[in-house]
Chain A
Amino acid sequence: MRVTFSANGKPVEADDVWEGESLLYVLRERVGLPGSKNACEQGECGSCTVYLDGVPVCSCLVAAGQVQGREVRTVEGLAGEDGELGLVQQAFVDAGAVQCGFCTPGLLVQTDALLAADPQPSDTDIREALSGNLCRCTGYEKIMDAVRLASARTCARGAEK
């Protein structure tokens, strides 16, 4: 089948999609967006998290056909038009929250969604919001630091405006 949808603001079209393919597979293998990751492909690890019509979802659990005509935003869509890192991306780099980095794309999308809903989450709020995103390298401490840093920068940016 053919699936057409919007990925990071641009129209994309995937042909010869087998009905059993996931959105994750289509993104990674058919439309050249491998940033979303394939750690478990059963909705447990969060590494494939993308926005679907503005809501974070595990793209491995979304059948490709379900995204027909809808808007998908992936980790590749978090940076600015000029390629400048987004605020959450920069915070993850600065805080040392990236080691192997395989969990990072999903965590970035989930953190982006968290701070959009609540720019000043408590530590427990952060842990609850990110509890669906596994990381095996960092022990999460630097990820907590990164989210706190992104929160502080979000609030500082808000205060400037």
Chain B
Amino acid sequence: MTTRTIQGQKNLQKINQASKDGIGGSPLRPDGTLKVKGEFAYSSDLWHEDMLWGTALRSPHPRANILSVDVSEALAVPGVYAVLTHEDVPGEKYYGLEIADQPALAIDKVRYHGEAIALVAADHPETARRAVKKIKVEYEVLTPITTEEQCLDPETHGYVHEPHEYRSHAYGNVCHEQRLVSGLGVTDEVRALADVVVSGEYEVGMQDQAFLGPESGLAVPAEDGGVDLYVATQWLHVDRQQMAPVLDLPLEKVRLTLAGVGGAFGGREDLSMQIHACLLALRTGKPVKIVYARDESFFGHVHRHPARMRYEHGATRDGKLVFADCRIVLDGGAYASASPAVVGNAASLGHGPYVIPNVRMHAIALYSNNPSCGAMRGFGAVQAAFGYESQMDRLAEALGMDPVELRQLNAVTQGDRMPTGQEIDAPAPVAELLQRVKDMPLPPPLDLEHLDVRTLPGALSNTSHGEGIVRGVGYSVGIKNVGFSEGFDDYSTARVRLEVIGGEPVAMVHTAMAEVGQGGVTVHAQIARTELGVEQVTIHPANTEVGSAGSTSASRQTYMTGGAVKLAAEAVRHELLERGRHRYGWTQDDLALVGGKVVSASAGVLIPIVDLLGEDAVEQTREHHHRPTVPFDKETGQGFGHVQYTFCANRAVVDVDVELGLVKVVELTAVQDVGKALNPLSVVGQIQGGCTQALGLAVMEEIVVEDGKVRNASFTDYLIPTILDTPPIPVQILELPDPHAPYGLRGVGEAPTVSATPSIVAAIRQATGKALNRIPVRPEHLTDTL
């Protein structure tokens, strides 16, 4: 509204300019200066007088009974203040995001490699580490349950959780499942309608979020018997909800404040050190800091579910899809974490952004003695996209069609129904995204005459001077939901206050939103500027003194908490203008706050905001709820389950050294519809970052697990893309507004992580002719050395 032009009121034009730092602009991050000066306080930077260091003893076995734990030697180490086991947990012994199946400290058995058994607090981190080694645990080591076949045969191989333990409607070692049938389903009669049928089995390895800031925080015991925790998390309120019962404290005595967060990507949705630090602080009466080392970080958070998928697609001779059938098996590991939601996404989005008349789907998550898996950027949709997009390429080849044209021919658009029966009631420009990405200029061809070997596969290792290098190009598109689904009311709260400070109107925005790097704090200030016509905005530290902001995940924060800031700011504006109407008798219905003034399109400037405010602050708090959704029917998968859909299309260009099996991604192009780019600089940054994590999954990243044991818990052995591995990432954004969303915006962060991986694999297939049914693609997959 602040951008409306005022006809015939030239004197107003200057003040009618919306702030360039409002929505649609790209103001600089409010925390940017602190971050480049090294002064931004991350959770691992915190310090307190008399502070102790906490650390955990973790299981070396993926499955074992604990026969005894002897902490006496550890307690005797000078400098050690406390050693705790599950017997010291005062309240509920179990917690969990969706199912409370995880013990705060292991009780009588361990279910995965790295499970926490005991805690130590000491005056130096090394003292704590040495004391941990003196805790004596007697194990009865059991054969871990690690494969799909073992999990599905509990009579032979056993249960990860015994049948009476913490399993809702699950059976055997199945944690959660979702079936879906639409149209006629997939039967022999339906299959007979297709001229061409392709099928494939696909596998996705276990990816890690690999955020750089390790899990960490500082717990400070309070005089009221409660505890204050300063922590890096994605959702303060859900942390507290899980912590308080375990600590046997009422919610209000567990106060959380967000410390600086060094990335998250889903890996901070579950608790890590929160309960442990608070237990130690409450026991010792001293502040306790816990900072994970990188190896502990790999054990201390959940990962992306590895998946095994079987797809079958049938189409007519001219390329129209007739049916699609899929079974997705996700390894959830020892504890449920977000597995039910991951299954829901895999089932409902697992056939991609395509119109398919007849569909069948079965998605399940298993309990196993592998590391727990849960949320990671794009969960459920990422795994499936590798399957259905591989199938699209396979189908195009079988039909002799161009793979982009095949996708466009079957692409969903607004008004179509997903296999869940949910109508897509907002723009869904899938075919256009594909066309645009195809029309983007290609990078120059490989020039053997003038090449810099550093740009080749193998790069600085000087492995080729151009010989054996083959170029490939691949395309893909993906779909992701935004916000929590299946009936979950993940509302957000915002408090906005407007007052005069130093002669200027200043807005203060207070939410519990976890700023994890995404730039939500920048966007909140932009929204306040646009809605209140002020320049100065203060972002209050995020804490539990204000209502929940929901999780910084599911691409939801700008939509949900941004939406709450908008509602609260609108309420402040309304109250302020009502005050003016009451006081000055304004009768105009075209009042707005622009450039620090109350203006009327018809009457011009009425009053500066500072004069209308005077000494009084105006403050409003609002909750923002998205439109309601419903759970998917357990058997048919039908239901209005998702809040919003988001789409991204990619093109990958790769050079492959076909002799050595080395891959260099030369360029990774992305075109995404974002509805409305509230901050274009941040939006592009999100898309480029999301594409790079997809690149990692395509060709580099996997937690290697052998018989339940993690073999590469370090950045030496778990490789994430460096700047040399990452190509230029040209991005084009579309802005087709979603009528249901604040400002028409669409969640941004996850769609590129869903869609980009298959384009890279497609490009490698084109270069090598290999089938490549597993990611990450490794050199041995390309050179027949397996």
Q: Which of B177-232 contact A (CB under 8 A)?
A: 209-214
Q: Does B233 contact A (CB under 8 A)?
A: no
Q: Is B214's CB under 8 angstroms from A38's CB?
A: yes
A-B contact pairs, 5 of them (CB 8 A): A39-B214, A76-B39, A98-B35, A101-B260, A141-B685
Q: Does A85 contact B (CB under 8 A)?
A: yes
Interfacial chain B residues near A47, Cβ < 8 Å = 212
Name the contact of B723 in the complex, choosing from A33, A90, A100, A131 (C-beta under 8 A): A131
Q: Is A29's CB under 8 angstroms from B47's CB?
A: yes
Residue on A with the closest CB to B695?
Answer: A139
Q: Which of A111-161 contact B (CB under 8 A)?
A: 124, 126-128, 130-144
Given contacts A94-B28, A139-B691, contact A35 B37 (CB under 8 A): yes
Q: Is A42's CB under 8 angstroms from B294's CB?
A: yes
Interfacial chain A residues near B26, Cβ < 8 Å = 96
Per-residue contact bits, chain B 517-551, to A (CB 8 Å; 1 contact, 0 not): 11100000000000000000000000000000000
The residue among A83, A90, A103, A141 with the most chain B CB atoms within 10 A of its own CB is A141
In Å, the complex CA distance between A98 and B41 comes to 15
Q: Does A5 contact B (CB under 8 A)?
A: no
Q: Does B76 contact A (CB under 8 A)?
A: no
Interfacial chain A residues near B39, Cβ < 8 Å = 35, 76
Q: Is B715's CB under 8 angstroms from A136's CB?
A: no
Q: Is B724's CB under 8 angstroms from A105's CB?
A: no
Q: Which of B1-52 contact A (CB under 8 A)?
A: 26, 28-29, 31-33, 35-42, 44-45, 47
Q: Does B692 contact A (CB under 8 A)?
A: yes
Task: Identify which of B240-248, B249-257, B261-269, B603-611 touches chain A.
Answer: B261-269
Q: Does B162 contact A (CB under 8 A)?
A: no
Q: Is B45's CB under 8 angstroms from A28's CB?
A: yes
In Å, the complex CA distance between A79 and B517 comes to 22
Q: Does B157 contact A (CB under 8 A)?
A: no
Residue on A with the closest CB to B691?
Answer: A139
Q: Is B689's CB under 8 angstroms from A139's CB?
A: yes
Q: Is A136's CB under 8 angstroms from B723's CB?
A: no
Interfacial chain B residues near A93, Cβ < 8 Å = 28-29, 32-33, 36
Q: Is A130's CB under 8 angstroms from B723's CB?
A: yes
Name the contact of A44 in the complex, choosing from B38, B293, B693, B716 (C-beta under 8 A): B716
Interfacial chain B residues near A33, Cβ < 8 Å = 38
The smallest beta-carbon distance between A128 and chain B, in angstroms, is 6
Q: Is B36's CB under 8 angstroms from A98's CB?
A: yes
Interfacial chain B residues near A44, Cβ < 8 Å = 714-716
The residue among A29, A74, A90, A108 with the most chain B CB atoms within 10 A of its own CB is A29
Q: Which of A78-103 contact B (CB under 8 A)?
A: 78-79, 83, 85, 89-90, 92-94, 96, 98-103
Q: Which of B674-727 contact A (CB under 8 A)?
A: 681-682, 684-685, 688-693, 714-716, 720, 722-724, 726
Q: Is B685's CB under 8 angstroms from A100's CB?
A: no
Total chain A interface residues with beta-carbon distance under 8 A = 59
Q: Does A36 contact B (CB under 8 A)?
A: yes
Given contacts A127-B724, A140-B692, contact A85 B518 (CB under 8 A): no
Interfacial chain A residues near B682, Cβ < 8 Å = 96
Interfacial chain A residues near B214, Cβ < 8 Å = 38-39
The smallest beta-carbon distance between B235 and chain A, in angstroms, is 16
Residue on A with the closest CB to B210?
Answer: A136
Q: Does A59 contact B (CB under 8 A)?
A: no
In Å, the complex CA distance between A138 and B752 comes to 13
Q: Does B440 contact A (CB under 8 A)?
A: no
In Å, the complex CA distance between A94 and B28 comes to 7
Q: Is A18's CB under 8 angstroms from B32's CB?
A: no
Q: Is B40's CB under 8 angstroms from A140's CB?
A: no
In Å, the complex CA distance between A37 and B291 comes to 12
Q: Does A34 contact B (CB under 8 A)?
A: yes
In Å, the complex CA distance between A40 and B44 comes to 12
The smallest beta-carbon distance between B41 and chain A, in angstroms, is 8
Q: Is B37's CB under 8 angstroms from A131's CB?
A: no
Total chain B interface residues with beta-carbon distance under 8 A = 62
- Spell out A's residues near B (CB within 8 Å): 18, 20-21, 28-29, 33-42, 44-45, 47, 74-76, 78-79, 83, 85, 89-90, 92-94, 96, 98-105, 108, 124, 126-128, 130-144
In Å, the complex CA distance between A38 and B515 comes to 19
Q: Is B716's CB under 8 angstroms from A136's CB?
A: no
Number of residue pairs A-B, CB distance < 8 angstroms: 182
Task: Tell me the dominant secondary structure on chain B's binding face.
Answer: loop
Q: Does B460 contact A (CB under 8 A)?
A: yes
In Å, the complex CA distance between A101 and B124 comes to 27
Closest 10 pairs (CB-CB, A-B): A35-B38, A100-B517, A102-B262, A139-B688, A101-B35, A139-B692, A75-B38, A44-B715, A99-B517, A34-B45
Task: Tell me the dominant secondary structure on chain A's binding face.
Answer: loop
The residue among B263, B720, B723 with the most chain A CB atoms within 10 A of its own CB is B723
Q: Is A104's CB under 8 angstroms from B35's CB?
A: yes
Q: Is B32's CB under 8 angstroms from A133's CB?
A: no
Residue on B with the closest CB to A128?
Answer: B454
Q: Is B715's CB under 8 angstroms from A37's CB?
A: no
**Additional pairs, 12, CB under 8 Å, beyond known A139-B729, A142-B688:** A38-B291, A39-B214, A90-B36, A92-B36, A100-B516, A101-B31, A104-B36, A127-B724, A128-B454, A132-B722, A141-B726, A144-B728
Q: Is A37's CB under 8 angstroms from B42's CB?
A: yes
In Å, the complex CA distance between A139 and B209 comes to 14
Interfacial chain B residues near A100, Cβ < 8 Å = 211-213, 261-264, 516-517
Q: Is A39's CB under 8 angstroms from B726's CB?
A: no
In Å, the complex CA distance between A18 and B129 comes to 14
Q: Is B212's CB under 8 angstroms from A85's CB?
A: no
In Å, the complex CA distance between A39 and B262 comes to 9
Interfacial chain B residues near A135, Cβ < 8 Å = 212, 723
The residue among A42, A96, A108 with the most chain B CB atoms within 10 A of its own CB is A96
Residue on B with the closest CB to A34?
Answer: B45
The smallest beta-carbon distance between A92 and chain B, in angstroms, is 5
Q: Does B126 contact A (CB under 8 A)?
A: yes
Q: Is A34's CB under 8 angstroms from B714's CB?
A: no
Q: Is B37's CB under 8 angstroms from A85's CB?
A: yes
In Å, the complex CA distance between A37 and B36 comes to 12
Residue on A with the closest CB to B293?
Answer: A41
In Å, the complex CA distance between A44 and B189 comes to 57
The smallest beta-carbon distance between A150 and chain B, in angstroms, is 11
The residue among A40, A128, A136 with the most chain B CB atoms within 10 A of its own CB is A136
Given contacts A89-B37, A133-B723, contact A138 B715 (CB under 8 A): no
Residue on A with the closest CB to B39?
Answer: A35
Interfacial chain B residues near A75, Cβ < 8 Å = 36-38
Q: Is B263's CB under 8 angstroms from A137's CB?
A: yes
Per-residue contact bits, chain B 256-282, to A (CB 8 Å; 1 contact, 0 not): 000011111100000000000000000
In Å, the complex CA distance between A36 and B692 comes to 24
Interfacial chain A residues near B212, Cβ < 8 Å = 37, 39, 45, 47, 100, 102-103, 134-136
In Å, the complex CA distance between A130 and B721 comes to 12
The smallest beta-carbon distance between A141 and chain B, in angstroms, is 5
Name the contact of B126 in the complex, choosing from A18, A41, A83 (C-beta under 8 A): A18
In Å, the complex CA distance between A109 and B728 comes to 23
In Å, the complex CA distance between A85 and B691 comes to 31
Given contacts A101-B517, A103-B212, contact A140 B38 (CB under 8 A): no
Q: Does B452 contact A (CB under 8 A)?
A: yes
The smallest beta-carbon distance between B541 and chain A, in angstroms, is 16
Interfacial chain B residues near A36, Cβ < 8 Å = 38
Q: Does B455 contact A (CB under 8 A)?
A: yes
Residue on B with the closest CB to A132?
Answer: B722
Q: Is B724's CB under 8 angstroms from A128's CB?
A: yes
In Å, the complex CA distance between A6 and B677 comes to 47
Interfacial chain B residues near A108, Cβ < 8 Å = 36
In Å, the complex CA distance between A85 and B35 comes to 11
Interfacial chain A residues near B692, Cβ < 8 Å = 138-140
Q: Is B460's CB under 8 angstroms from A128's CB?
A: yes
In Å, the complex CA distance between A29 and B39 comes to 14
Given contacts A44-B714, A98-B29, A101-B517, contact A127 B263 (CB under 8 A): no
The smallest beta-carbon distance between B440 and chain A, in angstroms, is 15
Residue on B with the closest CB to A76?
Answer: B38
The residue among A36, A79, A143 with the most chain B CB atoms within 10 A of its own CB is A79
